[in-house]
Structure 1
Amino acid sequence: MRLAALLTSFSLAAPAAAGDFVLQFPLDCTLGEDCRIQQFTDHDPGSGATDFTCGTLSYDGHKGTDFALPYLTDMQAGVAVRAAADGVVRGTRNSMPDQYATAQNEAAIDGKECGNGVVLSHGSGWETQYCHMKRGSVRVESGQKVRAGDVLGEVGLSGRTQFPHLHLSVRKDGEVVDPFAPDRLGSCGSPPARTLWAEPLPYQPGGLIGAGFASAIPGFDAIQAGTAGEAPLAADAPALVFWAYAYGSQAGDRLELSVTGPGGELVSHGETLERTQAQLFRAAGRRLRGGQWPAGSYTGTARLLRDGAEVGRFSRAMVIPPAADAASQ
């Protein structure tokens, strides 16, 4: 399928050659499992935005790579940010609050959009910058030497941001470099000849961040916070709702939600998405019409489809106990 071929081709770019500037993965997480790349460096020289594949995972003027965590609860638990290469600390900031950027705090953020962070100098004109780190987590100082893999701090929500993530910028002689396509900023499309990553990172053009069950349609703030899931639901829950949290959707994508239970298929919902969005959620379910939900296993599955091909899938299971068992717990 076309999408599968795209995924494979862009993940097989050659790693940096011996003697090149090389980057290690900068977070304590597993890409595609408990973190994702939400946005890449913008390759459109005009007012639009494209990532290095000519895809939509960027925004106008974006100068780095955004490694995102699924939920605020993951940020609060603590995810280490690590130096991507040997270097010397050129500057730090560590006192900005972790909060969503809003019109009310715009003035306080102005000029400090990076939030808390670290800038490392690597010699030969190379720099890396680590943004949006958690307040109080930065553990290095200006002038300090670091090695690749050393902990710099933790992922946060400081500066101009709407989700917990690390923004990593790479520069050579002050100019932005896209580590996924270091030889061609300003154009996109064909697979790059090389990357700066010691181990090439796969390109995922959107997908599912998570999914869960609830007794009512949750708010987006609860989804983002990681507090929307209520499983297992009580046998007398007023509704059985399955929600899915997605990223990188494009207009024309289809998001499908289904739930099977002890009696077979309980929910089957499909929706063609009208807009390209960085993040979104959808929910579908059924109200309880008297009695109780049958005890047993329930499985919810979310699928994001693009041109008929599956971009992402996420499943969640729960067990509703018999009413008598639930009452005794």
Structure 2
Amino acid sequence: MRNVSFLPATLLPFLLTAPALAVELGLPAQCELGKTCFMQQYPDMDAGSGTADPLCGSQSYDGHKGTDLRILSLKDMKKGYAVIAVADGKVLRVRDGETDRLVETEEDRARISGKECGNGLVMELEDGYEVQYCHLKKGSLAVKPGTDVRKGERLGDVGSSGLAQFPHVHITVSHNGETLDPLTGRKLSEGCTAATEQTASLFPRDIVEKLDLTKPEILASGLAGNPVDHQALVIEGPPAQVLSSDKLFVAWVWLANLKKGNTIKLVLTDDRKNIVIDHTSKPIDRDKAIFSAFAGKKRALPAGRYELDVSVLQDGTDVRRTSSSIVVE
């Protein structure tokens, strides 16, 4: 559904060719990165009141110490996505019983005060490494303290317990008590860096190649028979596809980690290459962790095959693009 992008050429070789560390971490959930799950937020490497992701960008928030792997919606959460061990280890502590909900108000935040991690566990890995998991689904924990687990073994399910605004699993990685960013292998206390003088990633090459903190993510896109309700996306997921009997149609896109100044272009063409929709948004006024856009017409869309091209542009240049073929019945 989307094109895979790579880390900047100036960065990737150093992440992949630096000396290997003692552990290599897999994804913390059983999903397909960039299709059914997405890395949305990274550790905050700014020790002060500001925010900086590991590459000095904005894909974090103040005080965030972990890496968040999200699935799209609560509807997907109910289907079940397994949280799995990122490496071999032993379970030290667990917590279950916290309700899955989305935190939207200050009252919600107060309700989970002291239990922001929600349901989770702490695992001891080898050579002084530990990993904490947060936000698992209530009642899904499949391990107990003292359980030895192998890399890839199910620990529970992705949830939205604790301080969660979308269903995800959060991992905090530490080594001998120092919190690390698993993408770069750097200590959070070292601060962010846009340079290449860094240790090897704790993630293997196939994961690193799919992560690019300099670009937004296209979570989903398509054609719908009604205007898209942005707030409903995280609950119900993508809207139902348009039918030729619907009285209107919209091309839509759901995005994460937009940058200030990005514009969103939606182009819909029919099977004869005729342009049905050609819409470009106004520049985004500030960085956006989550955003959606749509454009459409108040008429029925004839049955047939259509091509939807979605582009995110910065100063007129594509920074992320996806294209999909859609059959309308």
TM-score, normalising length: structure 2: 0.88
- 1:88-127 pair list within 5 angstroms: 88-102=90-104, 103-127=106-130
- 1:1-329 pair list within 5 angstroms: 6-12=7-13, 13-14=15-16, 17=19, 20-102=22-104, 103-185=106-188, 186-191=191-196, 192-199=198-205, 201-202=208-209, 203-204=211-212, 205-235=215-245, 237-261=246-270, 264-271=274-281, 272-288=283-299, 292-321=300-329
Q: Distance in 2 between matches of 1:15 and 1:136?
A: 41
Query: What letter corresponds to residue 213 of structure 1 in structure 2?
Result: L
Deviation of 1:39 after TM superposition, in Å, equals 0.9
Gaps of 5+ in 2: none
**Segment of structure 1 superposing worse, 268-277 or 184-193:** 184-193
The alignment-based identity, stated in percent, is 35
Higher-Rg structure is 1
Query: What letter corresponds to residue 290 of structure 2 in structure 1?
Result: Q
Please give the per-residue CA displacement for 1:155-209, whole angstroms capped at 9, x wherever unaligned. Answer: 1111101111111100123321111222353131113331122445233232210
**Segment of structure 1 superposing worse, 278-287 or 70-79:** 70-79
Q: Distance in 1 between matches of 2:45 and 2:20?
A: 26
Gaps of 5+ in 1: 322-329
- Taking only aligned residues, the RMSD between alpha carbons, in angstroms, comes to 2.2
**C-alpha contact 2:19 2:199 (8 A) present in aligned 1:** no
**C-alpha contact 1:129 1:170 (8 A) present in aligned 2:** yes
**Distance change >3 Å, CA 135–CA 232, structure 1 → 2:** same
Structure 2 SS opposite 1:14 = helix
**C-alpha contact 1:211 1:315 (8 A) present in aligned 2:** no
Q: Distance in 1 between matches of 2:9 and 2:35?
A: 18
Query: What letter corresponds to residue 221 of structure 1 in structure 2?
Result: Q
Structure 2 SS opposite 1:280 = strand
**C-alpha contact 1:207 1:304 (8 A) present in aligned 2:** no
**C-alpha contact 1:133 1:155 (8 A) present in aligned 2:** yes
Deviation of 1:227 after TM superposition, in Å, equals 4.4
Deviation of 1:36 after TM superposition, in Å, equals 1.2
TM-score, normalising length: structure 1: 0.88
Deviation of 1:314 after TM superposition, in Å, equals 3.1
**Segment of structure 1 superposing worse, 259-268 or 5-14:** 5-14
**C-alpha contact 2:43 2:181 (8 A) present in aligned 1:** yes
Deviation of 1:276 after TM superposition, in Å, equals 0.4
**Segment of structure 1 superposing worse, 61-70 or 120-129:** 120-129
**C-alpha contact 1:170 1:179 (8 A) present in aligned 2:** yes
Q: Distance in 2 between matches of 1:11 and 1:67?
A: 21
Structure 1 SS opposite 2:93 = strand
Q: Distance in 2 between matches of 1:82 and 1:52?
A: 24
The size of the alignment, in residue pairs, is 314
Query: What letter corresponds to residue 193 of structure 2 in structure 1?
Result: C
**C-alpha contact 1:210 1:314 (8 A) present in aligned 2:** no
